[in-house]
Structure 1
Amino acid sequence: MLHGHFASQYDSHSFWGVQEWREMREWLEINKRLLPDLMELLKKRYTILHEIMSSDLIGRRTLASSLHMSERVLRAETDLLKSQGLIETETAGMRISEEGRKLVIQLEPLMRELLGMRELEETIREAFGLRQVIVIPGDADASPAVKQELGKAACEVLNRSMGKDDVIAVTGGSTLAAVADQLRSSSARKGNWFVPARGGLGESLEYQANTIASMMAKRVGAQYRLLHVPDLISEEAYQSLKQEPNIQDILSVIRQARIVVHGIGDALVMARRRHVDEATVQALQEAGALAEAYSYYFDRNGHVVHTMLTLGLRMEDISRAEVVIAVAGGKSKGEAITAVLKFGHEDVLVTDEAAANEIVRISGLDVPKKPS
């Protein structure tokens, strides 16, 4: 399913050989018939362990809410997991033990099969002509830990995509901030440059593209350039700023981006977050805008219905980029992600189970039946 340097930790064969994987599939087929209840129990306990591991430290009430499970049922399960030495409890909540962490990592390929992630990935990849799709279990709308897992998965893709002397353009937003927070590299990337995909002054500092680009660069030992202009500007300011030598210099670097990493937002939510005037908001509604990505607004068919006046990446720059990675999750983002995928410029999608199921539903796709 994976292609060339896009293979990652989410590829089962990175853990097991082909023969081992074939034997595991046969084992699944046998056990889903003989022990269906055991398979469901395995899924449940893995999901609990995975959520605790992703959260670092979490209280029982919060965990029950994230997993849509009663506290009574969850207490019984966590008591068992504690007795097996897989989790540890303290006053502030629960955290996974080292033994539990090892078990989750070992089980991951098997559980991705049981949870149906592979079927979702392949269905979406084929439907939209993507190079790779990674689906993380859970719903980022319900669990902050899932957003962190999206960040980790995106980092795997980014690390494998980066070569020498690459320019990587990144957008802003909370999901890209999660990517930056998780980014690590086994070797220094001194020849690489991280740049903001557009201006972003005026947003919350931690979510600005400038902040995220600089954080990513520092985490992998790369270099960075910043674009100190507002996200939205007037026509007069736009014409003036683009004549500035310093602005022209950074724009020339941004437009050389070989890799683009971006989030996807709900069109109206993003418009209001950026304090767009009501006349423009109404125009977006009338045009059927559903999604926003890299300052472009898309309708349900993937058509661009509005472009914000901003300095940074242009559509032709995105088209020229060799690797475009979209990172977005949560059931509420399903429509927006689908709209951007229909636009057809993405290479890799990193999303979660809830959003993936929405994409499949909205698109009327047929997912092969998963083991149960």
Structure 2
Amino acid sequence: MEVSNKYIVIKHHFEDVLKESDFEIKTETLDLSVEEGSDDMIVKNLYISIDPFQINRMKSFSASQDVISYSTRITPGTAIDGPGIGKVVASGNNKFVKGDLVLGVFTWAEYCLVKERTIMRKLEPSEFPLTYHLGVLGLGGMTAYVGFFELCKPKRGEKVFVSAACGSIGSLVGQYAKLFGCYVVGCVGSQNKVAFLKDKLGFDDAFNYKEEIDQSSTLRRYFSEGIDIYFDNVGGKMLEAVIDNMNTFGRVAVCGATSEYIDIRKRASLDLVNVIYKRITIQGFLTPDLMIHHFQNFMIKTSNYLRTGELQVTEDISLGIKSIPSAFVGLFNGSNIGKKIVKLVEEEE
């Protein structure tokens, strides 16, 4: 059996601001049959995770970008791959059968041909929605959990600052910090988001960085006694301002640098004298490096928080493969609140 299969590509590598027109929707004819006993499977994608780190795989070549790309660069004209949830519709692999729900690295497409090595795990029936496995119970949730607890090593009552605090990771970090007993302030890009953090997610305070001229003085208003922990999702000038306001032995977990992803001129220039004399720890990390040691604790604690309603899940879901380019570009315009996901089918079959 053959189907018409739509998939998303980039037209070219780029350096400047990413636009929806940099993407293209292509169509191919895909045979849904696979050879029995092979490693091949056909997966029908149900949900695609939209993640900002992917932008580094789409840029024009530079040595630094190759270091930070997280995985291989994307070739223009070929399907983009990333985390997703799908249903097996044909399998030559005896470990998976038709109808299995799987979490893995799949192409941004309606259907994709995959190998067992691209599947992270089979998803069994659960009390939680499927989409949680792409966010709060997936890599995003794990990133927030290990970045905060293992790198920042919080103490109750400490002062925590989170940038991009309405994003998929920042929104969880702030909630973990509050549940642990910290004072938490987040920065976002609109007043609606400020209200969301305070009223919905329970942050102690929040501010709109777009309305502030001097970020360092802004932070002094919200942290009169200094910052103990900074969970950094943006890099750039905000990181510089935080270093000015950190306490002695402060800790910075560098999770992302979205301001630098889209404008190389915004790279942070740190006051190293401050870093030295305040004995500040600044550490970047990739979640897979830490997952094997902390995944079980993360799943147990986070699942319990979800059951009790102490942890709020925020998802921003678009519908249809045609919405993928706008969903991805929107990450860098600040249009999303919470985890950005594209749902590819009207109903789960």
Same fold? TM cut 0.5: no
TM bin (shorter chain): 0.3 to 0.5
- Hey, which of these two has a bigger chunk of strand by percent? 2
Q: TM-score normalised to the size of structure 2?
A: 0.35
- Hey, which of these two has a bigger chunk of helix by percent? 1
Q: TM-score normalised to the size of structure 1?
A: 0.34
